[in-house]
Structure 1
């Protein structure tokens, strides 16, 4: 059954397989069931949580198969998948062989928007290796300051299906999209979109950097007003060139330097717009001050410029950009200042789970005692260490793959003192903070920016960040 037939036909009696329980699978199964589809949910796991979720869906009349996500149910006419399921799973290979379409939750939300009797809200979409969540939340803050009804949705944790089918009527949605979600969203057409940056990530899922970049680039397809790219990252501009957009759609760059025509940038501590002004050859519109960005680290200023570009593409006035940035508060564990102790700042960036995010974090401070390590996910650290070597007062390493970082430090920063904690229990964080405090001098920043995933020691990056913050606060109480 072709995509167009499924998208326009009545769902009544359609056999749809939903792959995966969870944040996206459960809302998808419910929405399709409510529209009369014959829904079967398949799930790899069969634990207590999955059984509880299955019981709720089965009570509605939805079929659930636990412990078997590999087999395509008979009569399936469409597969709707959770974004994390890899394209090479047997279920998808069987669907492709049978000529069955595969959609993600984003594709389903895109197809169903406007079907609840309300006008479909346009989407302002953001993707990139790092900074997506911050940028989307900044964008939503700016849109709210402009008096628009909006929400930050998508990969940020709020289901897009809930947003497009819920009772709230939005003027515009600020949408975070991962490469996984974009892979399964062939017909998405945003009002405007931004790719913030591109660095190797999730290559085990995509198979290659080229495939990863191509999936990110899907966010530009069919844009109607603006494709926002990072002038410091030529790969993002190349994706704009390759995209098939609506006539009149413009390429808009953002830069930490002085902007050229059709760009947003920074001049003398001011965020300025030379893209959405009447005479962009000669005019620039002041939007906000660098000090309005919280925190004013270089990569976060870039996030603010990208958010501002999307908001301006939607017609938002400059004052709302300024007010929205002033109102914005970053999420926990994203360059979060925890405390100052004896002239040393302690900063939690546990969310920096890859080298690209950590590079940006390290660039925000002049003299650093760096706490790093965890699960490397196949990453290498030579380039990261080379770029940061001059800023490092010392390094404290912990976690399963700390040796990889240690080896890079030995090669590229041999003069930097390193403490190697040979432990992977959660209590290691307190010891790491103690060693970092001994290495630090007044004016330094002790920075948790692990460049690695957390699951070797902690449930997630949040628990890792909380452990760091707890250890820092305990130390602050001792020194008070």
Structure 2
């Protein structure tokens, strides 16, 4: 971890500057409006030309902003800056043309960072393959319990640009950042930041695991107080070591075990802090009980420790950590208990859309009938199945790429009963729940943790989780 004094980015004179905004949607619309309001000459380009895009285009054109629908490949003449939606891949022709012309490319997060006022709230930033949203919401809950004006923003539904430019005044922001957003945010310098974990994901976008990790690691650049890493995931600590930070910034680990100095961890059912205390070689501060974290699954306790570390880095008292965790209610479809039917628990973790998330979910229960499958996104399942085999009572497979999981089960858990439902219609979920119920015995957990994306069968993971919950309700009726 290198130390340096980081200087802020120079302000931009927007008056008359030709800016191309790539993509409409939740980031493009506010970006275009903000730039136009500052006197920039804005052109919006968008690949799609559907009804929603035309509606948004009409809204912008009424302000005098130029919009080109169905043409996201060509760089408008005279462009001096490109501001892109985070999901646009770096190899798009528009970006190639911009780089060849020496034109900078920013994302919405970079734009928000550059447009902050001189008294803007500091950012506590969170990234990682899994757990980002839950951890960010936990952090916001803890900050609120400390009496701070805050919001959970970023890759979480609330645009960071809207938060930065809105009328509401904040003391601090809890900011969830995706690898896409970090890729396009070269100037971001957080107060403190955490990388929760690293596992292969979005490799089709980034091109390699190394590039994906490097983009995640950008969140540590220029941190002022703490770089929070996962003791159980060495790759996150490696990113801290590689980061250039402000002088005095510390590496702070979180662990499900007993914490060492400069770590947060768990001792006899208590979340404890040995990082932000006097004489951390000998002292520890109790923060909360494991039972204050809901659900108290191992990966969720890790989320709570990461959130607590960032809050403590900002000077939040221990009592606020406890109260914030107690006040926090997780979003739907994140290891959510749906019902108990005939002494079998039914749990919806439809948000487990990759193998890393599914492994964390499976680790939370002792005896499982697992419902899995969907779009694999290039993933392999051998490691997941090998690590989870001893917990599996049975498996029900659905979705387009279920054969990949079935083959991994045959290699690493051949004794586990498998029901392969050869269907991808939405009604398959009811059949899957019925088959899982048939395999389950008293004390088991029927767990929807698909390890795959949902779009082969459902509009999104929310709809998939809703279908599971509805099927469970039919069992109990």
Q: Determine if the TM-score, normalized by the shorter chain, exceeds 0.5.
A: yes
d(CA) in 2 for partners of 1:9 and 1:166? 19
- Equivalent-residue separation in structure 2 for 1:165 and 1:21 (angstroms): 18
Counterpart of 1:190?
190
Tell me if 1:406 matches 2:406. yes
Structure 1: distance between partners of 2:457 and 2:294: 30
Equivalent residues in 2 for 1:73-152 (5 A)?
A: 73-114=76-117, 119-152=119-152
Alpha carbons 2:85, 2:108 under 8 Å: kept:
yes
Asked if the contact 2:145/2:324 (under 8 Å) is kept, the reply is yes
Residue 409 (structure 1) shift: 0.4
- Partner SS, residue 205 of structure 1: helix
Matches of 1:6 and 1:16 in 2, distance apart?
Answer: 18
Q: Residue 9 of structure 2 contacts residue 187 of structure 2 at CA under 8 Å; is this kept in 1?
A: no
Equivalence map 1:21-420=2 (5 Å): 21-114=24-117, 119-420=119-420
**TM-score when normalising by structure 1:** 0.97
Superposition deviation, residue 82 in structure 1: 0.2
Q: Distance in 2 between matches of 1:171 and 1:5?
A: 19
Say if 1:5 and 1:172 are closer, same or farther in 2 by CA, change over 3 A.
closer
Structure 1 residue 48 displacement after superposition: 1.0
Could you tell me how far apart the structure 2 residues matched to 1:384 and 1:330 are?
25
Q: 1:8: how far off?
A: 1.9
Gaps of 5+ in 1: none
Aligned-partner Cα distance in 2 for 1:405–1:242: 36
Question: C-alpha distance in 1, partners of 2:29/2:181?
Answer: 16
State the number of aligned residues: 471
1:307-363 Cα distance to aligned partner (Å, 9 max, x none): 000000000000000000000000000000000000000000000000000000000
**How much is the aligned-residue C-alpha RMSD, in angstroms?**
1.0
Name the SS for the 1:8 alignment partner: coil
1:435 aligns to 2:423 (yes or no): no
1:134 and 1:8 map into 2 onto residues whose CA distance is: 34
1:10 offset after TM fit, Å? Answer: 2.2
Alignment partner of 1:17 is 2:39 = no
CA distance in 2, matches of 1:8, 1:171: 22
- 1:472 aligns to what SS in structure 2? helix
